[in-house]
Chains A and B, each alone.
Chain A
Amino acid sequence: MNPELLELTGFAHEPAWLPWAVQYFFLIGLSVGAFLITLPTYVLRRRSDDGTARAALIAALTTGLAAPIALLADLHQPDRFWHFYLYGQHTSWMAWGAFFLPAYAGLLTLYGWLCLRPELAARAGSGGPVGRIDGLLAGSGRRLPGAQRTVGWLTAGAAALVALYTGAEVAVVAARPLWHSALLPVVYLATGVAGGAGLALLFANRAPAATQGLLRWLCVALALTGLTVIAWVLGLGGSGPARALLGLAEHRPLTFGLWLTAGLLVPLALAWFGRAPVAAGLLAIAGAWMWRWEIFMGGQALPKNSAGFYGVHLSPGPEGLLGIVGTLGLWVLIALALTTLLRPTANAQG
């Protein structure tokens, strides 16, 4: 920014997108990314390690179910979400997203159920209250490979639309040069896959084959992230976004530098050398979150027509830190429920 500019009158611009939005884009990005990892095993029937896909599926399911709740919280008047369905708006990515997102969440759940049915059925035999629930959920417990593949393809379609709309609805905002880049959806997807792989690593219980598979995914996703960001800075997505990204780095050197090292380079190195998979996974998750925080909240700090940056900071209340903790709590709840339904038998199998 130009320190020579003197602002005679100025206005404090409140961020329109709250930290809730970061949570939503983070969770849905991880979900879509993790879901992609399940495709080779469950849909393409390439005989890779079953543990990789299973861990990724749990990651996709837990984040995919928590994400819409975070999105709802971002609406300033959440009780109006149904207006999306009552008053269609075909020129708005967000309005389309209102259809894509439930389709994805529903199909993902169905897909997960089809993939995990045999496991649920196996767990049902172990008795106890959890076993009874598993039994109810598993039904016959028979594998339905045709249905699994069909639903898998449909889910993949929905996932692609979700990835497209979440990237595009931000990238179309011409008024914010940082967002107005065709590369934005690409980085979202790449960091989503990295975060999804990172989360799956936590669910993989250090199983060597699964860990190896997920680290490969992580490596590729992080490398893609890095390359896309380099292309961004070089101006391949437009000079405005390039300048804005450099401006952001200049304005927030600490947070941006933290993302670059801890969120991208270190996990990339760990994945490349196959070391400390849990740490690599955690850092990749943190990287996916930090990138979204920087782009969303940092992007709203870049001035549109003022001399200085707008103050964007994390408040401790429900529209800040508490909201983030709340979303985390929701995800933990879902994760606990799902792993409780699956874990003991899974261990036995793994």
Chain B
Amino acid sequence: MSINRRHFIKGAGAVGALAAFGVGYSHTADRFLKGFLDRGRADDPYAGNAPQPEYRVDPATGRVQLNPAQQVSYTVCMGCTTLCGVRVRVDKATDQVLRVTGNPYHTLSADPHLPYGTPVLESFAGVSRHQERGLDGRATACARGNAVLAKLDSPQRVRVPLKRVGPRGAGLWAPISFEQLVAEVVEGGDLFGEGEVEGLRAIRDPKTPLDPAQPELGPKSNQMVLLTAFNDGRQAFARRFAVNGFGTINFAGHRAYCGLSMRSGYAALLDDWGAQPHLKPDFANAEFLLFIGTSPGNAGNPFKRQGHLIAKGRSRGLKYVVVDPVLTNADNIAADTNSRWLPIRPNTDGALAMGMIRWILEHDAHDSRFLASPNPKAAERAGEASWSNATHLVITEPGADFGRMLRGSDVGLTPKGDDDPFVVADAAGNLHAHTGTDRGELFHRGAVTLTGGRDAAVATSLALLREAAFEHTLAEYADICGIDEVEIADLAREFTSHGKRAAVDTHGGTMGSNGFHAAYAIVMLNALVGNLNHTGGTSAGGGRFKDVAPGPRYNLAAFEGMQKPSGVGLGRNKFPYEKTTEFKRKQAEGRPYPSAAPWFPLSPNMGSEFLPAMLNGYPYAAKALILWSTNPIYGVSGLPQQMAEGMADPKRLPLIVSIDPFINESNQYADYLVPDSVLYESWGWAGAWGGHLTRVNSARWPVVEPRQARTADGQVIEMESFLIAVGKRLGLPGFGPGAIADSDGNTHPLDRAEDYYLRAAANLAFDGKPVPEAEDEEIAATGVTRLVPELKRVLKPEEWRKAAYVYARGGRFEDPEQAYQGEFLGRRFPRAMQIYNQQLALARNSLTGERYRGTPYWQPPVLADGTPLEQAYPPDAWPLRAVSTKSQLQSPHTIGTARLQQIQPANPIGLHREDARRLGIRTGDRIRVVSPGGSVEGIALVRSGIQRGVIGIEHGFGHRELGARLHRLGDTPLPKAVAAGAGVNHNELGCPEPHRPGITFLTDWVVGNVARQGLPVRVERM
């Protein structure tokens, strides 16, 4: 090789290498130079370009130095139904919420929560890393909570009143003024060029029967219906308008399609069908927990607190078993055998529970001391925290008295006081008033002579429960639920070997057509160990202070002219069919049963039944529907497919008004859309739903300026201002001048939301031992400054600083040490656990006329008339069962929240790998799930974490609205949200009741909860 050629090659090589080096390192050089040149860019040596901290804590003194550009306020999150107390950090200049974390005073967000008397600035320091305290004292919010604040400035939000300009459901709207909105809704007229529409003024008539032929249905006012979702702290206000002002009986939330089966099971156990209290385990002290149809931390309010306590529990040795057809993240591999998932067949939870009850009674593993105590005093003397009616005698003699409790007056026992006592037998068979002895026989059966001379067979409640449990062998129960006999026995043994530090918890997994009996059987297990009111056992909740109530300062519950609605609700609930005109007519015809549709004498108002009832016209049609913050057409299993025609027809339902910040599957049919405030803009007095052992009242108040339009007099347009305006125009009692009475007998007006909610704050502040007055420093530190003008205007000079003290802490909370009194809980539920529920036993099915049974027993899934589900929908045509699970991320109203969808954009359709192999389905395949009532198409997820024969779908996806469809406001489109329609909605699989005309869906045959679990389906490949 010549020297020149060598030089040339070397030179070319060098140039190439230099070029490669230059290009390859250009990025490095760029960063290098930027690092030197952009020295001044960071705003803060520690926080960098992140938002400045809201305050700093001096490491030496612990003094809190506030950042004047930001506001830190304690209020309530609305991301899900838990309603955690949170700490909201707001940038004052832009009025943007920067971040949400927990309120350390709040029991749902901190464990233990701060003593209420702690100064606010100390609470700020307490959540910092001051003195290297690590995680101690921290108060948290969850990812969902932080993501949903995007609702405030969502492009899909409705900010001005809208009136439809096309046919119902067309998505065409025109903005109108608030004043026009109120005038048209109240006065009616030819509002849409489709003919006359009755306004609320014409509909309101609390005296004239809506149907003179059936006076029991109540007055015309009942034809105005208000549907909402759950008590978010504002429900009392809507109730004041609809029930106590307007006088309609038709006011309901979402319980019927949420967890009514569980609530009814507890209503039977705790003997309160009205309020339907429910129990939650004392997570912090339990040794063994059994979850059937619920998953701690994944489902079952309060999510965050349960998740936190269950995680803590795992590390201290808590054992728990989650019984569910679908594996959720409630099981934890790291906890080894301390946590376990047990797959079960859908709708068979009752069989498992009855199997356990059978084993427990068979092996004498029940708590005899608890069960044998026939009255609360005896229980207390025996060292029990609660009592039951296990020893109370029930008349089992066929005939008129069959099924009712034997009373003292029946057998000549002297009633003590005003009450006719129940009767218990002693070992010798002698009868005593339940209040007259300390111990009753548990399994007594015998005959008594009733006053009047008739003999009647009697048995104790517990004997009847045992009889019910012994109707099947353990092997039969195992065969039904798909859980091995040995496993059932082991569960029962484990459950009964921790004394009262064991509890069972249940929830939405029981929402099947046999849901009530499943739930009653499950919760009965708590009675067999007598864990109510006991540390490590179960609690009915810590309760709350008086706020919206007849309180110490103002009476916010009652007012002059207050209506007491009467008649039958559209849900045909809490009213026996046997008292109706229909019954009497049919009886005269010789065939009183069946009623045209099932009646539910034990149930509360059921929002699920309202829409079908008003469109079916049974028991009567409605004239106006107000939908406030609710979406039954998405949430009720079976409604999405059936409602379009009826809702779109103004002749069947003449007026629909929606109060909602967003357009959802239900209010898309509205005639008027009233904007509403969202989470950090609203007023309210929320509580904790359960799982708390101390009193909790959580303050909702506008910590940022509401984003929606204002009325002519400057009020924010929201539920309260709209209902006040309508109420005043209608002249309803309870609104306008003189609506609120104080404790001195003076009255005050209700013209604005503040008039109501701030007075509730005064009640709260003065309940029991009044709270101290807030200093200026605390008011300024928590942003309560923005409330001060209204506090001073509405409240009395001695009240406003105490109310400010409450707002500064985000509510009023009892101190954590109130939770326990030795081995007992501080707040104890007083009534007897009902081993046998007389009200249940005396109620009848309105389709068959048959009586229900007073104890739990194994009840297979059925139609409303008792026809077995398998007979109506045979397994060879419908071989699989669909269930739904709660989403970790999505609430039904949060789709379109970008940050949540970034984590999980859609929901797959889960099925077991063996089923998938048989059907030739692989993960990722598009499949169609078909039920007798509808079908959904989605992506298959093949897994082992699901029971064989089950289709599992996570709730919260498959939306048709909430940004999934384009709406037009005049000429401007309301933009769609990215992927808001992704995934599938399991409620589109809801089954109709095949034997009835009209809009129907499968419900529990006793209490009428919507059946969304165990729906018969088949799967098709696409």
> B35: CB under 8 A from chain A?
yes
Stretch among B17-25, B464-472, B473-481, B797-805 lining the A interface: B17-25
- B941 at the binding interface (Cβ < 8 Å): yes
> Do B24 and A78 touch across chains, with their CB atoms under 8 A apart?
no
Proximity string of chain B (881-915) to chain A, C-beta cutoff 8 Å, 1 when within and 0 when not: 00000001100000000000001100000000000
Instruction: Give Cα A73 to B20, complex, Å.
Output: 15
Contact A79 B32 (CB under 8 A): yes
A94 to B32 alpha-carbon distance, docked (Å): 20
Contacts of A227 in B (CB 8 A): none
Q: Tell me whether chain A's interface is mostly helix, strand or loop, or mixed.
A: helix
Which A residues touch B888, using CB under 8 A? Answer: 8-9
On whether the beta carbons of B14 and A79 are closer than 8 Å, the reply is: no
When distances are taken between beta carbons in the complex, the residues of chain A under 8 Å from B329 are: 8
Q: Show 22 residue pairs from A and B whose CB-CB distance is below 8 angstroms, ordered by the A residue.
A: A6-B945, A8-B888, A9-B903, A73-B25, A77-B35, A78-B32, A80-B35, A317-B27, A318-B27, A318-B28, A326-B20, A326-B22, A329-B16, A329-B19, A329-B20, A330-B17, A330-B20, A330-B25, A332-B20, A336-B13, A336-B17, A340-B10
Distance in angstroms between the alpha carbons of A328 and B13 in the assembled complex: 12
A-B contacts besides A6-B943, A8-B328, A325-B24, 7 pairs, CB < 8 Å: A9-B888, A73-B25, A79-B36, A329-B20, A329-B22, A333-B17, A336-B10
Give chain A nearest CB distance to B21 CB in angstroms: 4
A331 CB to nearest B CB, Å: 8
CB within 8 Å of A: which B21-42 residues: 21-28, 31-36
When distances are taken between beta carbons in the complex, the residues of chain A under 8 Å from B27 are 73, 317-319, 322-323
B32 touching A330, Cβ below 8 Å: no
Q: Report the bound CA distance from A318 to B31 in whole Å.
A: 12
Interface residues of A in 298-347 (CB under 8 A from B): 317-319, 322-333, 336-337, 340
Within 8 A of A (CB), among B921-973: 941, 943-945
With a CB–CB cut-off of 8 A, which chain B residues contact A336? 10, 13-14, 17
- Given the complex of chains A and B, what is the CA–CA distance between A114 and B499 in angstroms? 84
Residue ranges of A at the interface with B (Cβ–Cβ < 8 Å): 4, 6, 8-9, 69, 72-73, 76-80, 317-319, 322-333, 336-337, 340
Chain A residues with CB below 8 A from B35, complex form: 77-80
Measured CB to CB, the nearest residue on chain B to A336 is: B14
Residues of B within 8 A of A78 (CB): 28, 31-32, 35
Complex CA gap A6/B943 in Å reads: 7
Task: Evaluate contact between A72 and B28: CB separation under 8 angstroms.
Answer: yes
**Chain B residues within an 8 Å CB radius of A323:** 24-25, 27
Residues of A within 8 A of B13 (CB): 332, 336
> B34 to chain A: which residues have CB within 8 Å?
79
- Chain A residue nearest to B37 (CB atoms) is A79
A4 touches B25 (CB 8 A): no
Q: Which of chain B's residues has its CB closest to A321's CB? A: B24
Q: Which residues of B contact A73 (CB under 8 A)?
A: 25, 27-28
B985-1007 contact mask (Cβ, 8 Å, vs A): 1 or 0:
00000000000000000000000
Q: Which residues of A contact B941 (CB under 8 A)?
A: 6
Give the residues from 669 to 692 in chain B that come closer than 8 angstroms, CB to CB, to chain A.
none
Q: A8-B888, A69-B25 are in contact. Are A329 and B17 (CB under 8 A)?
A: yes
Interface contact B24-A327, CB-CB below 8 Å: yes
Name A324's closest neighbour in chain B (CB-CB): B24
Task: Report the bound CA distance from A133 to B18 in whole Å.
Answer: 21
Known: A6-B943, A340-B10. A329 touches B21 (CB 8 A): yes
Residue of B nearest to A74 (CB): B28
Nearest-Cβ distance from residue B898 to partner chain A, whole angstroms: 15
Compute how far the CA of A6 lies from the CA of B889 in the bound complex, rounded to whole angstroms.
16
Minimum C-beta distance from B200 to chain A (A): 46
| Contact call B17/A77, Cβ cutoff below 8 A | no
Contact present for B25 and A9 (CB under 8 Å):
no
Query: Which B residues are in CB contact (< 8 Å) with A337?
Result: 14
Complex contacts, A319 vs chain B, CB 8 Å = 27
- A230 smallest CB distance to B (angstroms): 32
Determine whether the beta carbon of B944 is less than 8 Å from that of A4: yes
Q: Is the CB of A77 within 8 A of B24?
A: no
Residues of B within 8 A of A76 (CB): 31
Which residues of B are found within 8 Å of A329, using beta-carbon distances?
A: 16-22, 24
Closest to B30 in A: A318
A290 CB, nearest partner CB in chain B, Å: 20
Tell me the smallest distance from the CB of B947 to a CB of chain A, in Å: 14
List residues of chain B with CB within 8 A of the CB of A4.
943-945
Say whether, besides A77-B35, A78-B32, A332 and B17 are in contact (CB < 8 Å): yes
For the complex formed, measure the closest distance between the CB of B145 and the CB atoms of chain A, giving whole angstroms.
15
Chain B residues with CB under 8 Å of A322's CB are 23-24, 27
Question: Nearest Cβ distance between residue B307 and chain A, in whole angstroms?
Answer: 13
| Chain A residue, CB-CB nearest to B9 | A336
User: 0/1 per residue, B854-882, Cβ < 8 Å to A?
Assistant: 00000000000000000000000000000
Residues of B near A328 (CB, < 8 A) are 17, 20
Taking a contact as CB atoms closer than 8 A, the residue among B21, B31, B32, B33 that contacts A326 in the complex is B21
Taking the closest CB of chain A, its distance from the CB of B710, in whole angstroms, is 40
Instruction: Select from chain B the residue with minimum beta-carbon distance to A333.
Output: B17
Measured between alpha carbons, how far is A72 from B24 in the docked complex, in Å? 13
Closest A residue to B11 by beta carbon equals A336
Within the complex, the shortest CB–CB distance from A206 to chain B, in Å, comes to 15
- Nearest-neighbor residue (CB-CB) of A335 within chain B: B17
A78 to B35, CA, bound (A): 8
Enumerate chain B residues within 8 angstroms of A318, measured Cβ to Cβ: 23-28
- Name the residue on B nearest A20 (C-beta): B28
Residue contact A77 to B31, C-beta cutoff 8 Å: yes
CA gap between A325 and B20 in the complex, in Å = 6
Question: Chain B residues near A77 (CB, 8 Å)?
Answer: 31, 35
Residue in A77, A78, A328 with the greatest tally of chain B CB atoms within 10 Å: A78
Q: Is the CB of B31 within 8 A of A330?
A: no
When distances are taken between beta carbons in the complex, the residues of chain A under 8 Å from B25 are 69, 73, 318, 323, 326, 330
